Amino acid sequence: MKFENTHVYGILDAIRGARNPLESWSKSDSYMLAGSAMIGPNDMKLLQNLMKAAINDRSNSHSKFLRQIMLSVDITGPLYWWKEFDTYKVGTTANSTSTMHKLASKPITLDCFETDDYENIQMDFLPYNEELKFVLVEPMIGVLEDLRVKYLETKDKRYWKELVRWLPESWLQTRTFTANYQVIRSMYFDRRNHKLTEWSKSFVDWVKTLPYAEELIMFEGR
């Protein structure tokens, strides 16, 4: 998986809004430095106190400032991961590359599929202890590529339909994803121990790179 072009914005705006109820703007000590928002100790104390209140009463209302910290990122992940990702619809927007329009535009190779943590698995049914990759994966890719080429040669939509029908869930798709810190916080706690490493490693590792991830997204009240 890949997480590229991450952009976080609105931190200082969220802080200003968090100070509106008590009109305590004069106590704010955050600032911009070289294009990045730097949260001062006064503001961090306020934000984490609000988050503690939200944790204690099991409500997101106190920590709603997180909804005003926005991010966008380009994520390239397998279809089986995107199916679970699509659970998170509220407060998110995503535009994907098009299977409909671009599937046949380039050769189908192993690089088109998720193989980050691929390991050879020995199965009793495999002849001569061959690797699963050579018995299943490479022939499958060959069939898909043949269908792609046949469609380009003939423009017969039946070949394209079969290509779509048998496309494995490990196929990589890129989406530009927009959300806020409260959504990312929910995703982090929901998925950090998931058995798919795309969640428990790739996604979590990316979250840790976000500005103030430990203090805001991963904060547990301590």
Is 129 buried (19+), middle (13-18) or exposed (0-12) by CB count in 10 A?
exposed
Q: What integer pLDDT is reported at residue 110 of this predicted model?
A: 87
- Of the chain, the end-to-end C-alpha distance in Å amounts to 32
In the block, residue with structure tokens 């998170």: 88
Q: Let me know: does 146 contact 139? Beta carbons within 8 Å.
A: no
Cα separation, 214 vs 222, whole angstroms: 11
Q: What integer pLDDT is reported at residue 137 of this predicted model?
A: 79
Between 157-165 and 138-154, two packed helices, what is the crossing angle to 10 degrees?
A: 160
Q: What integer pLDDT is reported at residue 187 of this predicted model?
A: 96
Provide block-wise average pLDDT over 10 residues at a time, the chain (222 residues).
96 97 96 96 97 83 92 96 89 78 83 79 55 73 93 93 91 94 96 95 97 96 80
- Supply the pTM of this predicted model: 0.86
Q: What integer pLDDT is reported at residue 158 of this predicted model?
A: 94
Cα separation, 15 vs 13, whole angstroms: 5
Two tokens, residue 14: 């969220």
